[in-house]
A and B are shown apart, each in its own frame.
Chain A
Amino acid sequence: GQNIDQPTEMTATEGAIVQINCTYQTSGFNGLFWYQQHAGEAPTFLSYNVLDGLEEKGRFSSFLSRSKGYSYLLLKELQMKDSASYLCAVIGDDYKLSFGAGTTVTVRA
């Protein structure tokens, strides 16, 4: 089976930086995704990592270490609209997405 762990909640101040960690233990590995999900809405794609290293896209960056089974999503210059749930998801050797439970980020003024 697939096991994906991420913190349940995080709180940060507007303009600050927050790092959401994700560790995974899966049968095989074919890539890791980060999604943003606002309450009652569908997930929206943020990033995809399949090779080790850092992928930067504007205010959001994602890092992957396959040997450690570890990824993080870095959110910089936090804005109020960034308050949402952030989902870590992995494609294993079954070629299906397995999701973590999500990290709820609350941005405070």
Chain B
Amino acid sequence: GAVVSQHPSRVICKSGTSVKIECRSLDFQATTMFWYRQFPKKSLMLMATSNEGSKATYEQGVEKDKFLINHASLTLSTLTVTSAHPEDSSFYICSATRDRVAYEQYFGPGTRLTVT
């Protein structure tokens, strides 16, 4: 099967600092990776779509300067939350797919971010 990992699984940071979350496809090349955010008992909200070697496409309302996405290789995408604030506390989930559309996405285990 296709395995996607995320690191770290949990992170606590102070307001004003930046935190980086890694998403890796372990046994396949991911042409596209998606980053989602999920609030408690709420739906997954797509934040951005990341294609290897090109700039990420952000969804409306998502600040690209605050949520920096880098898709450096076919197996790694990173999400950096810059100048974090308590309202950025959330569950962040990445997914990866072999093609450029959303079919057959493989989800990572998620990262719980808490900003104090």
Contacts and interface: CB of A to CB of B under 8 A. Distances in A.
Interface of A: 4, 30-31, 40-45, 87, 89, 91, 95-102, 104
Closest 10 CB pairs of A and B: A42-B107, A95-B101, A99-B43, A101-B43, A99-B44, A97-B102, A42-B109, A42-B110, A96-B102, A91-B102
B93 interface: yes
Contact of A97 (B42, B105, B109): B105
A100 B108 contact: no
A100 B93 CA distance: 16
B49 interface: yes
B77 to A, nearest CB: 15
Given A91-B103, A97-B46, A98-B46, 7 more contacts: A42-B93, A42-B108, A91-B101, A95-B102, A96-B46, A102-B41, A102-B43
B112 interface: yes
Given A95-B101, A96-B49, A41 B44 contact: no
Contacts of A30: 103
B28 interface: no
Nearest to A97: B102
Interface of B: 34, 41-46, 49, 91, 93, 101-105, 107-110, 112
If over half of B's interface residues share one DSSP class (helix, strand or loop), that class is named, otherwise mixed; here it is loop
A97 B107 CA distance: 12
A7 to B, nearest CB: 13
A40 B112 contact: yes
B102 A101 contact: no
B80 to A, nearest CB: 20
A101 B40 CA distance: 10
Contacts of B112: 40
B46 A40 contact: no
A82 B27 CA distance: 28
A104 B109 CA distance: 19
A34 to B, nearest CB: 13
